[in-house]
Amino acid sequence: MAALTFEQIHQKIAAKFGDAIGAAQPPKKDAFCTFAVAKLVEVGRAMKADPDLAFDHLQDVTATDHPKEGLIRVVYHFYSYTHRHGFCAKVELPRAQPEVDTLEGVWKSANWFEREVFDLFGVTFKGHPDLRRIMLPDDWVGFPLRKDYREAGGYQGISNIRDNPLDLYLSLDKACRPEPVAPAEPATPAAPVAPAAPQKGEA
């Protein structure tokens, strides 16, 4: 079967899940739709099992932060190696307590993707078998990819202030320059030597 377009995939899953599938959004870069949070895992299983869709690969999971709307949107990119087509969907979570079921039981690749989103955005993936930070230490405070995140001034005595790279380059350049060599003093011309006086008996 040939690859399906985004619109064809959207129509197929919307026909099965109805209001749980949001309207297709006009693409800026990727066309997408929203999934109802409560139906995410069920829709995911159907997308993987349907032979016409055959989404055998969860390509990526990331998130975007929207403080003015009070939302975090988790973004899923699905791909079918069987049919060579892809699909993008999002779930919208309350920013104050963002929680959604894990997809790790459907696609194993969700494991580390979800841990990264948990680490950097603070999204809890319910049912994840090992939900803990993946980039930052366990006692790190805050979620660095949220738009209101503020640095705490370092971590356990390690400063997070970096020197200006230009200053470092200038210092390195100065250190690598050879020491200037002073110009040699001009040699003083030697005084003329007077001829030796003739000795007695010399003609």
- Its pTM stands at 0.78
Helix locations, 69-138, DSSP H = 110-121
From the list 110, 95, 101, the residue with the least C-alpha distance to 61 is: 110
Residue 178: which residues within 8 A CB-CB, separation 6 or more? none
- Residue for token pair 């390195």: 172
- Whether 194 has a pLDDT exceeding 80, the answer reads no
Question: What's at 83, amino acid-wise?
Answer: H
Whose structure tokens read 């709307």? 69
pLDDT in tens, 164-182: 778 777 887 888 888 777 7
Quick: pLDDT tens for 6-15. Answer: 999 999 999 9
Structural domain boundaries of the chain? 6-103
Q: Which residues pair with 74 in a beta bridge?
A: 63, 91
Residues 167-200 as b or e (16 or more Cβ within 10 Å = b) = eeeeeeeeeeeeeeeeeeeeeeeeeeeeeeeeee
Query: Tens digit of pLDDT for each residue in 93-124?
Result: 999 999 999 999 999 999 999 999 999 999 99
Of the two residues 14 and 1, the one the predictor is more confident about is: 14
Question: For 144-155, how does the pLDDT look when each residue is reduced to its tens digit (9 = 90+)?
Answer: 999 999 887 777
Least reliable range by pLDDT among 37-46, 52-61, 177-186: 177-186
What span, in angstroms and rounded, lies between the C-alpha atoms of 114 and 131? 8
Cα–Cα distance, 119 to 133 (Å, whole number): 5
As a CATH number, domain 6-103 is 3.30.460.80
Say if CB 112 and CB 61 are below 8 A apart. no
